[in-house]
Chains A and B, each alone.
Chain A
Amino acid sequence: MGSIYAIVGIGFMIIYSVTRVVNFAQGEFLMLGGMLSTTFHLNGFPLGISILLSVVIATLLGMFFYQTIIYPIRGAPAFALILMTFGGSIMIRGIAMLCWGTDPRSLPYFFGANPIRISGAILNPQAVWVIVSTFLMAVGIFLFFRFTIHGKAFLASATNAFLATLMGIKTERMGLFSFALAACLGALAGAIMTPLTFPHVGIGIHLSVKGFTAALIGGLNRIEGVVAGGLALGVLESLGAGFVSSGYKDAIALVVLLVVLTFRHQGLLGGAEAGRV
Chain B
Amino acid sequence: MSGSGLVLILVLLPMTIWAQALEPYKLGLITSITGFMAPMGTGVRDASLIAVDKINKGGGIHGRPLKLILYDDASDPTKGVLAIKKLIGEDKVLGVTGPLSTGIAIQCATIAEEGRVPMFAHNSSSWSVAEKPWDIPKPPTKIRHWVFKLGIDPIFQYLAIYRMMTDIRGITKIASINVNNAMGKAMKAALEATHKKAGLEGVIWEEFGPEDTDMTAQLTKIKGAKFDALIISGAEMASGITYKQAREMGIKQPILGMPPIAMVKIVATLGKSLDGLRVPSMIMDIGEALPSDEPQRSVAVELTSRLKTEKGVPRADTGHGTGWDGIYVFEDALKRARPDLADVTKARGQVREAMATIKGFMGAYCIGDMTKWHEIAAPLIPVEMRGGKPIVVGKKIVSTWAELE
Contacts and interface: CB of A to CB of B under 8 A. Distances in A.
Contacts of B213: 1, 196-198
B1 A205 contact: yes
B51 interface: no
A104 B269 contact: yes
Nearest to A238: B217
A222 interface: no
A49 interface: no
A113 B249 CA distance: 12
A152 interface: no
The residue among A196, A200, A241 with the most chain B CB atoms within 10 A of its own CB is A241
Interface in B166-195: 180
Interface string A201-233: 011011000000000000000000000000000
Contacts of B144: none
A246 interface: yes
A246 B208 contact: yes
* Dominant SS among interface residues on chain B: mixed
Contacts of B217: 238-239, 241-243
B212 A242 contact: no
Contact of B4 (A94, A115, A197, A246): A94
Contacts of B39: 102-104, 200
A90 interface: yes
B221 A242 contact: yes
A1 B269 contact: no
A124 to B, nearest CB: 6
Given A102-B34, A246-B212, A247-B207, A122 B249 contact: yes
Interface string A85-119: 00000100110010001111110000001010000
A201 to B, nearest CB: 9
Interface string B210-228: 0111111110110000000
B18 to A, nearest CB: 36
B180 A245 contact: yes
B248 A106 contact: no
B133 interface: no
B265 A103 contact: yes
Contact of A106 (B41, B212, B269): B269
Interface string B34-51: 111011011000000000
Interface in B218-268: 218, 220-221, 237, 241, 245, 248-250, 265
Contacts of B269: 103-106, 198
Contacts of B206: 246
B2 interface: yes
Contacts of A103: 39, 265, 269
A249 interface: yes
A247 B265 contact: no
Given A106-B270, A122-B248, A249 B38 contact: no
Contacts of A198: 213, 237, 241, 269-270
Contacts of A249: 209, 212
A101 B42 contact: yes
Interface in B198-212: 206-209, 211-212
Contacts of A245: 180, 207
Q: Is the interface of A mostly helix, strand, loop or mixed?
A: helix
B89 interface: no
Nearest to B210: A246
Given A198-B269, A202-B2, A247 B180 contact: yes
Nearest to A114: B248
A94 B1 CA distance: 12
Interface string B1-22: 1111000000000000000000
Given A198-B237, A202-B2, A246-B207, A241 B218 contact: yes
A124 B241 CA distance: 13
Interface in A237-272: 238-239, 241-243, 245-247, 249-250
A206 B212 contact: no
A102 B38 CA distance: 6
Contacts of B249: 115, 122
Contacts of B42: 101-102
A241 B212 contact: yes
A198 B249 CA distance: 18
A2 to B, nearest CB: 10
Interface string A1-14: 10000000000000
Nearest to B39: A103
A115 B215 CA distance: 15
A122 B207 CA distance: 20
Contacts of A241: 208-209, 212, 215, 217-218
Interface in A50-108: 90, 93-94, 97, 101-106
Interface in A133-148: none
Contacts of A197: 213
B237 A202 contact: no
A238 to B, nearest CB: 5
Interface of B: 1-4, 33-36, 38-39, 41-42, 180, 206-209, 211-218, 220-221, 237, 241, 245, 248-250, 265, 269-271
22 contacts: A1-B214, A97-B34, A102-B34, A103-B39, A104-B269, A106-B271, A115-B250, A124-B245, A198-B241, A200-B39, A200-B237, A205-B1, A238-B217, A239-B217, A241-B212, A241-B218, A242-B220, A243-B217, A246-B207, A246-B208, A247-B209, A249-B209
Given A97-B34, A198-B237, A238-B214, 7 more contacts: A102-B38, A103-B39, A198-B213, A198-B241, A200-B39, A241-B208, A250-B209
